[in-house]
Amino acid sequence: MFKSMKSRPRALIGMIKTNPHDHNLYLLKLTEFKSLVEAAGYEVCGVVVQVRSKESVNYAFGRGKVEEIKNLIEEKEASVFAVYNILTSKQKYNLESYLGVSVLDRYEVTLEIFDKASSDELSKLQIELARLIKSYPYEKLKASFKYRVGREHPWKRSSGEYIYHSIVNTLRRRMAKVYDELEERKKARIEQIFKRRRIGSPIICITGYYSSGKTSLFNALTGLNKPVSPKPFTTLSSKYYLSNRYGEVFLVDTIGFVHDLDPKMFESFELTLNDIRFSDAVILVVDCSDPQPIMLFRLSTCLDVLKNLNVDFNKMVIALNKIDLLNENEVLNRLKIISDYVNPTPVVPISAEKKLNLEKLMSTVFSRLNQYRA
């Protein structure tokens, strides 16, 4: 007798839209978030959007909407409520208490995907720090309610208060330990980067939105066969390779970007992001097969991230990837749109999958390098 396939847990998606004049951007954000929730392993069973001038302090959503969400969760048999907005500890605690299901915000959904993709010690450490930074105030709040700290004191140091402080101190010590270990690794990584620079071979970093084809391009340029997946965040730790195919260079495959990445996530993954920051040139990969609004939305996200990393756009080249999926007129149209958007940054149409126009891409990168170093 065959065993039935285990169905995925069901998730209801929620969003607070604080801009009443936004009629398009929030839909793109919801589409992206739905993809992330599915990549985290959930079946999306519905979407709830509430327009408010600002989030409510206690639940993010209004009390009436929370009641509606509770009914939908029961009706749809959802076990998770995934919220696009970043929740405070108080909002998360109150929602979980009232709804009776696990509540995850965008930050936590992204971490769940990272968890599934992580395979090396460095990425696991960075994920742990990101989770501790997010969960520390929540666990502290939850413990204070559970052990009634500050409300009932039979004596000055009740057993509940001892347990509370034990939980808080354990989390704090673990966070400090992980942070210190990553700081040591960061110093070693920066020394390694400058050691590579002293060799004289430029460091060329390949970056872009998740699933844009970064690792496919890395493989095409190096001849390697690193894992490629349509799922987001296949690459969490940077991969360096000294290549002689287009002149001696270090090619680096790095973590993909996602819209509205929380600043705390940047702090946790600083070690990996430093590979982009300290590179000699950046190839920003853009998936030109995306619908035009999504393509520009994702490009804008990448440019914002690179700007926040203080990357000099004078050392950047755009690789307009997946041209094999479009006809010639569509490629020319996308090329003009992107070129106008990023002018004067050069844009080179390529196909990493079919290895099309890679020589042109690398010659443009070297030209950019020479101009930047001049």
Q: Are residues 90 and 124 in the same domain?
A: no
Domain region containing 149: 119-179
Q: Are residues 263 and 347 in the same domain?
A: yes
- The pLDDT confidence band at residue 287, using thresholds 50, 70 and 90, is very high
Beta strand 249-253 pairing with 239-243:
antiparallel
| Least confident stretch, 27-36, 137-146, 157-166, 301-310 | 157-166
Assess whether pLDDT exceeds 90 at residue 160.
no
Assess whether pLDDT exceeds 90 at residue 22.
yes
Residue 339 lies in a domain: yes
Amino acid identity, position 192: Q
Assess whether pLDDT exceeds 70 at residue 1.
no
Percent pLDDT > 90 in the chain is: 72
Residue 3 lies in a domain: no
Residue 19 has a pLDDT of 95
Kindly give the residue spans of alpha helices, DSSP state H, lying in the chain: 25-39, 63-76, 89-99, 106-117, 121-146, 159-199, 214-222, 263-268, 270-277, 292-308, 328-342, 358-373
Q: Are residues 105 and 132 in the same domain?
A: no
Q: Are residues 131 and 109 in the same domain?
A: no
Assess whether pLDDT exceeds 70 at residue 372.
yes
Q: Are residues 316 and 342 in the same domain?
A: yes
Residue 18 lies in a domain: yes
Q: How many structural domains is the chain composed of?
A: 3
Of 92, 113, 134, the last residue of a domain is 113
Assess whether pLDDT exceeds 70 at residue 198.
yes
pLDDT tens profile 231-271:
778 777 788 999 988 888 999 999 889 888 777 777 778 88
Percent pLDDT > 70 in the chain is: 95
Beta bridge partners of 251: 204, 241
- The pLDDT confidence band at residue 134, using thresholds 50, 70 and 90, is very high
Residue 159 has a pLDDT of 67
Of 113, 134, 153, the last residue of a domain is 113
Phi–psi pair at 60, nearest 5 degrees: 70, -55
Residue range 314-330: mean pLDDT, rounded: 98
Contact 302, 282 (CB under 8 A): no
Residue 155 has a pLDDT of 44
Q: Are residues 242 and 366 in the same domain?
A: yes
Residue 194 lies in a domain: no
Residue 269 has a pLDDT of 85
Q: Are residues 25 and 44 in the same domain?
A: yes
Q: Are residues 128 and 265 in the same domain?
A: no
Q: Are residues 126 and 260 in the same domain?
A: no
Q: Are residues 218 and 326 in the same domain?
A: yes
What lies within 8 Å, CB to CB, of 50 at 6+ separation is: 14, 15, 16, 17, 61, 62, 65
Residue range 146-151: mean pLDDT, rounded: 66
Residue range 128-142: mean pLDDT, rounded: 93
- What CATH number did the domain enclosing 86 receive? 3.40.50.11060
From first CA to last CA, the distance across the chain in angstroms is 71
Residue 255 has a pLDDT of 86
Residue 4 has a pLDDT of 42
Of 113, 131, 147, the last residue of a domain is 113
Structure tokens at 74: 């029961």
- What CATH number did the domain enclosing 263 receive? 3.40.50.300
